[in-house]
Amino acid sequence: MNLEAVIGLEVHCQLASCSKIFCSCPTKFGALPNTQVCPVCLGLPGVLPVFNKRVLELAIISGLALSCKINNHSRFHRKNYFYPDLPKAYQISQYDEPLATGGSINLDGKKIGITRLHLEEDAGKLMHAEGASLVDFNRCGIPLIEIVSEPDIRSPEEAYAYLTEIKAILQYTEVSNCNMEEGSLRCDVNVSIRREGEGLGEKVEIKNLNSFRGVEKALHYEIERQIEVIKSGRKVFQETRLFDEKKQVTFTMRAKEEAKDYRYFPEPDLLPLIVEKEQIESLKSQVPELASQKKERFMKDYGLSEYDAKILTSTKEMAIFFETCLRSYDKPKIVNNWITTELLGLLAEKKKKLADSLVKPELLTKMLLLIDDGVISGKIGKDVFAEIFASGKDPEEIIKEKGLVQIKDTDSLYLVIDEVLSENPQAIKDYQEGKKKAVGSLIGQIMKKTMGRANPELANQLLLKRLGEDI
């Protein structure tokens, strides 16, 4: 029996406008409950929504970045459901005439289709207290786009890659900060199993997914569950399930909560959304170079491996950091090595983000120039870099303060070499008997005595001279 998973994803993303979608309330995260609300977003009688121009622009840019067709004519609908997070008892959304349709993204050569991208407003937040529920409507009316994928995804890993790419695109275009902790990026999953020759099985929706890894894990569990159901001869039911992050399982949502009958109808308070061709053309110029294009360019122009180019373009800040370094230090591979090993290593170790790090491109390139000029060795550079990371200090200052300047004068080096030689008569004897490896241990001791400050090439040369080589 040949079974395969068929996965579709719905991504909700908050657009980075200053005010809400249909009223002038602020969208700032973290405000006190119900301090960013007004009669419009509270759904008081007699109010009218007025659509935000910036929200439309950001949504069009998102659509263009996802290679969608922007529809000249689209429309808002009311999605009706009765729940206390929604004061009007309907959400203004788009239904059969969405803003954008027919896009796609590329995942390492595989195309994943985007069915549609539409505009909608977010709902409020419910907190469950003793004997009652408490509602905060600050999020109510926050502008969202919903991006619906085609059921082109075949594995949990592919779902993870798709989400990562969507996030990178939305961040690169700066239409959203995509912060999952703040709820500005959320995701629902649809999954079913296809039996070869029998078409698609019933679709299960999974909600309550708080991270991309959560999506991956929930899918692993759910796919296995559905396959087991099929193999045992039973049927998968169409339903909504919730993911329990702790137990790593999905479970059935109660049927009552699920009663899904949204009775969409055209929103009479809003006129159709008309987008002129000229506006789309002018917004096209605002779509920046995206991660995947940047990656290709980094490989071509800087001779980087695909692996490195992918890391450097994984966030826009990282790519900017890298290219800023190149402006004052034109050796891409060296800059790449320092970023991908030292900088990312320290960021991971200290659980920091690049944006909060004290390392600035100028500090890194200044240090690289000091290495090239022989002021410090590459090895000492790592210590200097760690200090820049910790304090944000200028590398020259750090070198001076810690006495890290490389020893390059012959006299000082001979002093150390002679000391090491006098302590190691056996090594000299070994060397003279042809065991050339003895040099290594002697150099090691010279480095140790100079705390790594000896210029390695020069020290090697002088040592060989002392050992009687004619160089």
Partner 1 sequence: MAEITKKEIEHLALLSRLSLSEEEKNTLSQQIKEILNYVEKVNELNTENVTPTFNVLPLGERLREDKVDNKFDSQSLLRNAPESEGNFFKVPKIV
Piece in contact with Zn ion (CB under 5 A), picked from 9-17, 34-42, 377-385, 432-440: 34-42
- Give 400: exposed, middle or buried? Use CB within 10 Å, 0-12, 13-18, 19+: exposed
Distance CA 372, CA 34 (A): 58
Please state the closest distance from residue 388 (CB atom) to partner 1, in A. 39
Residue 266 is encoded by which pair of tokens?
């055209």
Does 273 sit near partner 1 (CB under 8 A)? yes
Q: Which of 121, 122, 136, 165 binds partner 1 (CB under 8 A)?
A: 136
Whole-angstrom CA distances from 379 to 141, 391, 413 are 55, 19, 18
Piece in contact with partner 1 (CB under 8 A), picked from 20-28, 172-180, 322-330, 427-435: 20-28
Which residue lies nearer to partner 1 by CB, 80 or 314?
Answer: 80
Distance CA 307, CA 316 (A): 16
Kind of pairing between the strands at 249-252 and 239-244: antiparallel
- Give 113: exposed, middle or buried? Use CB within 10 Å, 0-12, 13-18, 19+: middle
- Give 18: exposed, middle or buried? Use CB within 10 Å, 0-12, 13-18, 19+: exposed
Choose among Zn ion, partner 1, none what residue 55 binds, the Cβ cut-off being 5 to 8 Å by kind. partner 1
Alpha helices in 291-409 (DSSP H): 291-302, 306-312, 316-328, 332-337, 344-349, 361-372, 378-391, 395-402
> Which amino acid belongs to residue 204?
V
Q: To which residue do tokens 């826009």 refer?
A: 316
Please state the closest distance from residue 9 (CB atom) to partner 1, in A. 27
Choose among Zn ion, partner 1, none what residue 134 binds, the Cβ cut-off being 5 to 8 Å by kind. partner 1
Stretch 11-30: interaction string toward Zn ion, x if CB under 5 A: ------------x-x-----
Residues in 197-256 that interact with partner 1 by CB under 8 A: 256
- Give 385: exposed, middle or buried? Use CB within 10 Å, 0-12, 13-18, 19+: buried
Does 471 sit near partner 1 (CB under 8 A)? no
Please state the closest distance from residue 226 (CB atom) to Zn ion, in A. 42
Residue 428 is encoded by which pair of tokens?
């000299």
Distance CA 439, CA 466 (A): 11
Please state the closest distance from residue 239 (CB atom) to partner 1, in A. 17
CA dihedral 82, 88, 91, 93 (to 10 degrees): 150
Does 177 sit near partner 1 (CB under 8 A)? no
Residues in 70-109 that interact with partner 1 by CB under 8 A: 75, 80-84
Q: Which of 5, 7, 14, 36 binds partner 1 (CB under 8 A)?
A: 36
Choose among partner 1, Zn ion, none what residue 273 binds, the Cβ cut-off being 5 to 8 Å by kind. partner 1
Please state the closest distance from residue 76 (CB atom) to Zn ion, in A. 17
Q: Which of 41, 159, 318, 454 binds Zn ion (CB under 5 A)?
A: 41
Instruction: Please state, as a whole number, how many other Cβ atoms lie within 10 Å of the Cβ of residue 369.
Output: 13
> Which residues lie near partner 1 (CB under 8 A)?
17-19, 24-26, 32-39, 42, 44, 50-56, 75, 80-84, 126-129, 131-137, 256, 259, 261, 263, 266, 268, 270-274
Which residues of this chain interact with Zn ion, rule CB under 5 A?
Answer: 23, 25, 38, 40-41
